């Protein structure tokens, strides 16, 4: 009998796909479902990026395999972006690698550094892909809590000796999915210190690096002096340039970690299509005005949803980054119960907080990656469902 591996068979259930199935079933009954569970931008890729793709795709020279680590123009654009945006110097040859989206890079890099049974300190709540990648690499997820009372920053002192000793790697993600939490450089300084003292590698997932609001600018982990000794940072064009379907990202930082990942990748893929890399280079080298325009759109939508949730007596505060709103479920509900009520009675998908880990219980995540008219409609329906009472 044909069977998948034990690792694949025992992958934890993906709550998102359960909700997706319910959505499809409701839509088949003709119900209009508003999906606030989406983790990708609804806005289009900027036209200047598309123009560059079209220009490059017409050139036969670009139809061949890309160099393994990515094409020179893309890697140099990453180097310039880090220098101009963060004041961080990188060597394009040894400290930058192109990825087929940051998810691919994170999963493969976890596989490239773990030995079976190695622990990975992983934020709870956190992006569920971390756990799956650790599992597929025969590692062990060692959750550390992100607590609302501590502004969702890690409490390094609170991580037990046992957890430090059994772990080989620590993962961080700011601006944070799902909480929308942001950090200041101090947290990264402490993280690098913690990694050094406990002989850990440090991965920072900065997929939402440019999706920030007001005066807040997200720092790079590599701005911490000496960070490159222990750390890498993963970047993505998916969120900031609305390029989620293009599959393009990068990893920068520690040479040894990047070398380990390039060994894996040179055996499983041959990097991204060159015209996509060149279009992404154009995006990264731009003046970022399209990113700022996106952020203004998200900010308006977030404001609308925050106001509406407050009117519904739902505890919430406006995030300084990401397009997610992390809110407490009303009293008497579990995360799952609330999400099911909203889907069943309002036709609105929100993501139950427990999909992101134990610490997410009692919360739900709403994405504002839908047009404002749909958000208005979602709010009307949610308010009506809530008037219907408790679970």
Ligand X SMILES: Cc1ncc(COP(=O)(O)O)c(C=O)c1O
Closer to ligand X by Cβ: residue 85 or 196:
85
Is 346 buried (19+), middle (13-18) or exposed (0-12) by CB count in 10 A?
buried
> How many Å is the Cα radius of gyration of the chain?
21
DSSP state letters, 349-381: E-EEGGGG-GGGTTEEEEE--S-HHHHHHHHHH
Q: Which residues 209-248 are close enough to bind ligand X by CB under 6 A? A: 236, 238, 244
Q: Which residues 108-127 are close enough to bind ligand X by CB under 6 A? A: 127
Only segment of 4-12, 13-21, 101-109, 337-345 that touches ligand X (CB under 6 A)? 101-109
Only segment of 98-106, 220-228, 278-286, 303-311 that touches ligand X (CB under 6 A)? 98-106
Closer to ligand X by Cβ: residue 173 or 254:
173
For the bound state, the minimum distance from the C-beta of residue 250 to ligand X, rounded and expressed in Å, comes to: 9
Closer to ligand X by Cβ: residue 66 or 236:
236
Structure tokens at 377: 């409609």
DSSP assignment, residue 70?
A: -
For the bound state, the minimum distance from the C-beta of residue 146 to ligand X, rounded and expressed in Å, comes to: 13
Q: Cα separation of 349 and 366, whole Å?
A: 8
Closer to ligand X by Cβ: residue 56 or 205:
205
For the bound state, the minimum distance from the C-beta of residue 236 to ligand X, rounded and expressed in Å, comes to: 3
Closer to ligand X by Cβ: residue 26 or 50:
50
For the bound state, the minimum distance from the C-beta of residue 210 to ligand X, rounded and expressed in Å, comes to: 13
182 contributes a contact to ligand X by CB under 6 A: no
Instruction: Give the SS3 label for residue 253.
Output: strand
366 contributes a contact to ligand X by CB under 6 A: no
Q: Is 40 left (phi over 0), alpha (psi -120 to 50) or beta?
A: beta
Among 39, 139, 275, 347, which residue sits at the site for ligand X (rule: CB under 6 A)? 39
Q: Cα separation of 278 and 104, whole Å?
A: 19
For the bound state, the minimum distance from the C-beta of residue 208 to ligand X, rounded and expressed in Å, comes to: 7
Find out whether 190 and 157 touch, Cβ atoms under 8 Å.
Answer: no
103 contributes a contact to ligand X by CB under 6 A: yes
For the bound state, the minimum distance from the C-beta of residue 332 to ligand X, rounded and expressed in Å, comes to: 30
Q: Cα separation of 274 and 73, whole Å?
A: 10
User: What is the dihedral angle through the alpha carbons of 379, 380, 382, 387, rounded to the nearest 10 degrees?
Assistant: 140
Closer to ligand X by Cβ: residue 173 or 272:
173
Q: What are phi and psi of 199, to 5 degrees?
A: 55, 50
262 contributes a contact to ligand X by CB under 6 A: no
- Residues in touch with ligand X (CB under 6 A): 39, 101-103, 127, 173, 177, 205, 207, 236, 238, 244, 249
């Amino acid at each position: 009998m044909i069977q998948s591996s034990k690792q694949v068979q025992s992958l934890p259930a993906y709550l998102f796909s359960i909700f997706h199935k319910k959505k499809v079933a409701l839509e088949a009954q003709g119900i209009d479902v508003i999906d606030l569970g989406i983790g990708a931008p609804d806005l289009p890729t900027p036209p200047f990026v598309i123009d560059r793709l079209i220009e490059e795709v017409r050139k036969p020279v670009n139809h061949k395999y890309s160099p393994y680590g990515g094409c020179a123009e893309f890697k140099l654009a990453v180097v310039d972006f880090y220098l101009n945006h963060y004041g961080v110097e990188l060597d394009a040859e040894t400290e930058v690698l192109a990825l087929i989206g940051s998810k691919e890079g994170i999963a493969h890099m976890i596989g490239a550094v773990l030995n079976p049974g190695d622990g990975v300190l992983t934020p709870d709540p956190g992006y569920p892909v971390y756990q799956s990648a650790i599992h597929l690499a025969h590692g062990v997820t060692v959750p550390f809590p992100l607590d609302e009372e501590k502004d969702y920053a890690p409490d390094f002192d609170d991580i037990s000796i046992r957890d430090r000793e059994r772990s080989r790697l620590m993962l961080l993600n700011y601006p944070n999915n799902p909480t929308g939490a942001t950090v200041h450089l101090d947290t990264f300084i402490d993280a690098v210190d913690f990694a050094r003292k406990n002989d850990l590698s440090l991965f920072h997932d900065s997929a939402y690096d440019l999706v920030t609001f007001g005066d807040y600018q997200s720092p790079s982990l590599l701005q911490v002096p000496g960070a490159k000794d222990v750390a890498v940072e993963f970047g993505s064009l998916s969120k900031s340039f609305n390029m989620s379907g293009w599959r393009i990202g990068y990893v920068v930082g520690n040479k040894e970690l990047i070398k380990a990942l390039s060994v894996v990748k040179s055996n499983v893929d041959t990097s991204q299509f060159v015209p996509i890399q060149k279009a992404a280079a154009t995006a990264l080298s731009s003046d970022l005005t399209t990113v700022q325009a996106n952020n203004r759109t998200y900010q308006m939508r977030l404001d609308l949803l925050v106001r509406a949730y407050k009117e519904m007596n739902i505890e919430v505060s406006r995030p300084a980054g990401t397009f997610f709103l992390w809110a407490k479920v009303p009293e008497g509900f579990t995360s799952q119960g609330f999400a099911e009520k909203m889907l069943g009675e309002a036709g609105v998908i929100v993501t139950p907080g427990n999909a992101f880990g134990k610490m997410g219980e009692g919360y739900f995540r709403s994405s504002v990656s839908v047009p404002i008219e749909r958000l208005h409609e979602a709010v009307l329906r949610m308010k009506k469902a809530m008037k219907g009472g408790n679970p």
